[in-house]
A and B are shown apart, each in its own frame.
Chain A
Amino acid sequence: DAGVIQSPRHEVTEMGQEVTLRCKPISGHNSLFWYRQTMMRGLELLIYFNNNVPIDDSGMPEDRFSAKMPNASFSTLKIQPSEPRDSAVYFCASNQGDAGYTFGSGTRLTVV
């Protein structure tokens, strides 16, 4: 198994541009999570899905952030418009029962 796959690994964009982060969970995992990591706030849970349905999006910071999971093998996190304070590392994780939460390598986003 290739694990949780995130793309891109690095993204540099200008303020105001739309940014889309992508995640492919482990096959068979029915829960998917998006986290943001910054020095100031640590690891924050933004949103999570179960069976492709959003369960809790209370961590999404603003309406500029949106996430979708159109099928069991793909999810996106979109920021529109992006701002410098959105600069962070964004992690995707997936889980199935007692298997444990497996994290991707992350996307390092820099908004200039």
Chain B
Amino acid sequence: AQSVTQPDIHITVSEGASLELRCNYSYGATPYLFWYVQSPGQGLQLLLKYFSGDTLVQGIKGFEAEFKRSQSSFNLRKPSVHWSDAAEYFCAVVTGFQKLVFGTGTRLLVSP
């Protein structure tokens, strides 16, 4: 079955340091991939999406992600993390007909 895996449950990063959150997908065709962020008690906000074309995708809040077909990965990056980036991050893939399936999420903690 098509799915997405986020291997890190928690990640702690110092404020100002760089960030990379991992996402691996399992899908036969070219996937539609997304990253969402969820702050405590809030809904999900779309950070960025990849459908086709340029494999480096720019998103909101200074985030970017790179699609690597050879590694079946779509890792999220940010060069310098701010305390306000502390949240839960979800990778998602569209499977079948518009069916959006989420990974288990990675909780980002930002230390001073």
Stretch from B15-23, B43-51, B71-79 forming part of the interface with A: B43-51
> Which residues on B sit within 8 Å (CB–CB) of A95?
98, 100
Contact among A56, A98, A104, A106 with B51 in the assembled complex (CB-CB below 8 Å): A98
Q: Is the CB of A101 within 8 A of B97?
A: no
Q: Is the CB of A106 within 8 A of B43?
A: yes
* Cα–Cα, bound, A100→B46 (Å): 8
* Cα–Cα, bound, A74→B105 (Å): 29
1/0 contact string of B24-48 vs chain A (CB within 8 Å): 0000000000101000001111100
Supply 5 further A-B pairs (C-beta < 8 A) apart from A56-B99, A95-B98, A103-B44. A91-B43, A93-B44, A98-B51, A103-B36, A105-B42
Sorting the interface of chain B by its residue count into under 10, 10 to 19, 20 to 34 or 35 or more gives 20 to 34
CB within 8 Å of B: which of A63-107? 91, 93, 95, 98, 100-106
- Cβ of A30 to closest chain B Cβ, rounded Å: 9
Q: Which residue of B lies closest to A50 (CB)?
A: B98
* Cα–Cα, bound, A43→B41 (Å): 14
A28 at the interface (CB under 8 A from B): no
Interface set of A (CB-CB < 8 Å, partner B) = 31, 33, 42-43, 45, 48, 50, 55-56, 91, 93, 95, 98, 100-106
- Among A42, A43, A91, A105, residue most surrounded by chain B Cβ atoms (within 10 Å): A43
Main secondary structure of the interface of B (DSSP, over half): strand
Q: Is the CB of B102 within 8 A of A50?
A: no
1/0 contact string of B85-98 vs chain A (CB within 8 Å): 00000101000111
B101 at the interface (CB under 8 A from A): yes
